[in-house]
Chains A and B, each alone.
Chain A
Amino acid sequence: MSRREFVSPEGLRLDGRRPDELRKLQARMDLFSRADGSAYVEMGNTKVVAAVYGPREVRRASMAKHDRAVVRAEFGMATFATGERKKSSKGDKRSAEVSQMLVATFEPVILTELFPRSQIDIFVHVLQADGGNVAAAINAATLALIDAGIPLKDFVVACSAGHIDGANVLDLNYLEDSSGGGPELLLAMLPTEATLSLVKINDRIPLDVYDALVSLAMKGAALIHEVLVAKVKEHAHQQAASLGTIV
């Protein structure tokens, strides 16, 4: 069986990127009318929408916390998002795991103590999956939270990096992720202080490679942060202009 070459001798990956290059990142805020905040993020061919509701009254009184808001998250995938059609992702293990990751990532960042006895919901739906779904989900959720006007300590930006064929590559696509064979690292970062809020590694990884991967992924996350900040500013500007506050 011939083995696929993930990084060519010229230093190019299957989709033509350099090892330390991100996919094209595009975003939009405020898509939906009924959610308090919503956003859409495209990382290459991975496309996700996020919607945020809240802070609002808790749905079940037993959930309420007297000193802060409860953060809940639900991650789902469209049946046509992947190469093979899947039945609805509602309630499957993987979705539940990612939902937990979203809660764990955002709970410490949202200023929950400002909203006792209330809840904040984050819903993320993957419309097209091509690797890096969780990273895209976190980035979209950040924008949706900002759109909803929920006070945050900082942005949360997520990026993945992997070690394939002896090379460290940034922002893996589906092919590299599924058949690259190397370890993959996903991290979420609070960019202002450059602190990591989520690190997930799915395989054994030598320590020296770990160092290089973390710094590569952090570099990627910093670039994503730049794009997201520009998007938020552009959106705020449009909002202000439409209100007539500025010309």
Chain B
Amino acid sequence: MTQLVSPSEVAFLLQGVAHNLRSDGRSRTQLRPVVVETGLVSQANGSSRLRRGNTDVLVGVKLSVGVPDLAAPNTGRVEVAVECAPSASPLFEGRGAREVNAGLAAAAASYLAAPGALDLEALCIRPDTHCWVVHVDAVVLDSGGNVLDAVCAAARAALANTTLPRVSTVPSETPGEFDLEVSDDPDDVIALDVSRLPVSVTLARLGDFYVADPTLEEEACQTAAFTVGVTADGTLSGATLSGDGGIPPAMLIEMFQVARKLGMALVADMNDLGEQEAKLDRDVVGFLG
């Protein structure tokens, strides 16, 4: 997702940041507005498309039945994969996006599959033998900076849109094995509890300042980036510092506080959006809108 910036562009951006007025009109700690629609992929158990500036992410959640890990026999698991489509950058053609994909997936998984983020015990169907595997697959269709936060937020919306069919196990004809029995009523489903699922908030260091939710151009001139996972009640779940510029400890502490505030507001906003969307009697707009 490289973007070329000239020295004069860098100077312009940095001066804007110093005056607390960024090139898209935002202040330093303002996020871009989020546009989200859920339930638009009918083949998936849950889905969402989220746009934030020019960043455009589609997430599909698919459920499959697997065998619990030996170390945790009464839990299910969450698997995260990210695919950057070539529409986001020509560099992503062929295997060009492999490393970016792996990096984004690992980063997103560290928040989405963190201990306590989802109730993994609720994903257990029968201890030792059957559990739900929740595949969270994100496609990055367009990039306008801060893809990680968009992937995490879109995944959160898609998981909130996901329902588990009610399933029980019955002894199979083969002794010692079990068959799955799915409830006959298609409306007899369990919603995933996303109340403890974090969103990620990224702050980028530009010169002596830091900005929230950086655009592609800002990412090109950042010297370091700091990402924090924040849940609805303000619990911090994981943080990552990247880039080669480093951040002084005093600034880092301030960034924690700012990220926490922004994250809590974002979760509240997204919950509101979800409730509003659920009330609408609407047709899917998808990519036609």
Bound together, the chains give a CA A76 to CA B93 distance in angstroms of 10
Q: Tell whether A123 pairs with B86 under 8 Å between CB atoms, given A40-B288, A49-B287.
A: yes
| Per-position 1/0 for B143-182, Cβ under 8 A of A | 1100000000000000000000000000000000000000
Bound together, the chains give a CA A42 to CA B85 distance in angstroms of 18
Q: Tell me whether B227 is interfacial, beta carbon within 8 Å.
A: no
Contacts of B47 in A (CB 8 A): 80
Taking a contact as CB atoms under 8 Å apart, the answer to whether A49 and B141 are in contact is: yes
B167 to chain A, nearest CB (A): 17
A90 to chain B, nearest CB (A): 7
- Identify the stretch in B4-12, B13-21, B38-46, B186-194 within 8 Å (CB) of chain A at 4 or more residues: B38-46
Contacts of B54 in A (CB 8 A): 32-34
Contacts of B143 in A (CB 8 A): 34
Bound together, the chains give a CA A42 to CA B58 distance in angstroms of 16
Taking a contact as CB atoms under 8 Å apart, the answer to whether B42 and A123 are in contact is: no
Residue ID in chain B nearest A88 by CB atoms: B83
- Identify the stretch in A125-133, A159-167, A180-188, A194-202 within 8 Å (CB) of chain B at 4 or more residues: A125-133
Taking a contact as CB atoms under 8 Å apart, the answer to whether B137 and A80 are in contact is: yes
Residue ID in chain B nearest A35 by CB atoms: B87
Taking a contact as CB atoms under 8 Å apart, the answer to whether B94 and A76 are in contact is: no
Contacts of B83 in A (CB 8 A): 76, 78-79, 88
A177 to chain B, nearest CB (A): 15
Taking a contact as CB atoms under 8 Å apart, the answer to whether B42 and A45 are in contact is: yes
| Per-position 1/0 for A29-68, Cβ under 8 A of B | 0011111001010100101011101001000000000000
Taking a contact as CB atoms under 8 Å apart, the answer to whether B286 and A34 are in contact is: no
Q: Tell me whether A23 is interfacial, beta carbon within 8 Å.
A: no
Contact among B44, B58, B93, B142 with A32 in the assembled complex (CB-CB below 8 Å):
B142
A: contact size bracket: 35 or more
A115 to chain B, nearest CB (A): 16
Bound together, the chains give a CA A46 to CA B86 distance in angstroms of 20
Q: Tell me whether B27 is interfacial, beta carbon within 8 Å.
A: no
Residue ID in chain B nearest A56 by CB atoms: B90
A25 to chain B, nearest CB (A): 11
The B interface, classified by DSSP as helix, strand, loop or mixed, is: mixed
Taking a contact as CB atoms under 8 Å apart, the answer to whether A125 and B43 are in contact is: no
Q: Tell me whether A205 is interfacial, beta carbon within 8 Å.
A: no
Taking a contact as CB atoms under 8 Å apart, the answer to whether A128 and B42 are in contact is: yes
Q: Tell me whether B223 is interfacial, beta carbon within 8 Å.
A: no
Q: How many residues of B are counted as interface, with CB atoms below 8 angstroms from the partner's CB atoms? A: 33
| Per-position 1/0 for A104-128, Cβ under 8 A of B | 0000000000000000010101011
Contacts of A50 in B (CB 8 A): 87
Taking a contact as CB atoms under 8 Å apart, the answer to whether A34 and B288 are in contact is: no
Q: Tell me whether B114 is interfacial, beta carbon within 8 Å.
A: no
Residue ID in chain A nearest B87 by CB atoms: A51
Taking a contact as CB atoms under 8 Å apart, the answer to whether A28 and B288 are in contact is: yes
Bound together, the chains give a CA A51 to CA B142 distance in angstroms of 10
Bound together, the chains give a CA A26 to CA B288 distance in angstroms of 8
Bound together, the chains give a CA A72 to CA B90 distance in angstroms of 12
Taking a contact as CB atoms under 8 Å apart, the answer to whether A121 and B90 are in contact is: yes
Q: Tell whether A123 pairs with B85 under 8 Å between CB atoms, given A80-B41, A85-B135, A128-B43.
A: yes
Residue ID in chain B nearest A79 by CB atoms: B137
Q: Tell me whether A81 is interfacial, beta carbon within 8 Å.
A: yes
Q: Tell me whether A74 is interfacial, beta carbon within 8 Å.
A: yes
Residue ID in chain A nearest B55 by CB atoms: A33
Bound together, the chains give a CA A33 to CA B188 distance in angstroms of 42
A231 to chain B, nearest CB (A): 11
Q: Tell me whether A83 is interfacial, beta carbon within 8 Å.
A: yes
Q: Tell me whether B219 is interfacial, beta carbon within 8 Å.
A: no
Residue among A53, A72, A74, A127 with the highest chain B CB neighbour number at 10 A: A127
Contact among B43, B56, B141, B144 with A129 in the assembled complex (CB-CB below 8 Å):
B43
The contact sample of 22 A-B pairs, CB cut-off 8 A, is A26-B288, A31-B141, A32-B54, A32-B87, A35-B87, A42-B288, A45-B42, A47-B286, A53-B90, A56-B90, A76-B85, A79-B83, A80-B61, A81-B43, A85-B62, A88-B83, A121-B86, A121-B93, A123-B87, A125-B139, A127-B287, A128-B41
Interface residues of A (CB under 8 A from B): 26, 28, 31-35, 38, 40, 42, 45, 47, 49-51, 53, 56, 72, 74, 76, 78-83, 85, 88, 90-91, 121, 123, 125, 127-129
Knowing that A76-B83, A129-B43 touch, tell me 15 more A-B residue pairs with CB under 8 angstroms.
A32-B141, A32-B142, A34-B88, A42-B288, A74-B86, A78-B60, A80-B41, A85-B62, A88-B81, A90-B94, A90-B95, A91-B94, A121-B93, A125-B141, A127-B58
